[in-house]
Amino acid sequence: MIENKLAPDEMYEEMSEFLKALAHPLRLKILDLLADGELCVKDLCTILDVPQPTISQNVGILKDAKIICYRKEAQKTCYRIRDKRALEILKILKQKNIEDCNNKN
């Protein structure tokens, strides 16, 4: 029967929360940068030209969703990718945009 193929409701809720955490341009940029390795908040602020409170708010969302994790180094907080599924999703989205651009030309 078709309804037997559905996962438990909790799984769909978790997937939805995961996708919501990714659903912001700045958070996608942060992930794109972290794909190359660990970066500290100061580095993210400099590269993205965004104030520290904005970076902190957005990495907090990614951290709460368990997409990234952090480590403290004296006064610095450095972030890295925890859940590689986020990178796979980003890769798919970027590839789709590249294909769309190529098809317009």
CATH number for the domain including 52?
1.10.10.10
Interior CA angle at 46 toward 48 and 78, to 5°?
A: 95
**Mean of pLDDT values over 79-87:** 97
In a domain, 2, yes or no: no
Is it the case that residue 101 has pLDDT exceeding 80? no
Question: Do the beta carbons of residue 29 and residue 19 sit within 8 Å?
Answer: no
Provide the domain count of the chain. Answer: 1
CA separation for the pair 54, 68 (Å, rounded)? 16
- For the chain, helix (H) and strand (E) counts, in that order, are 5, 3
- Nearest in space to 39 (alpha carbons), one of 29, 23, 24, 20: 29
74 domain residue, yes or no: yes
The kind and range of the H/E element at 49 are none
| Residue 48 pLDDT > 60 | yes
Average pLDDT over residues 71-100: 89
What's the pLDDT at 5?
87
Domain extent at residue 21: 16-100
Name the band, by pLDDT with cuts 50, 70 and 90, for residue 97: low
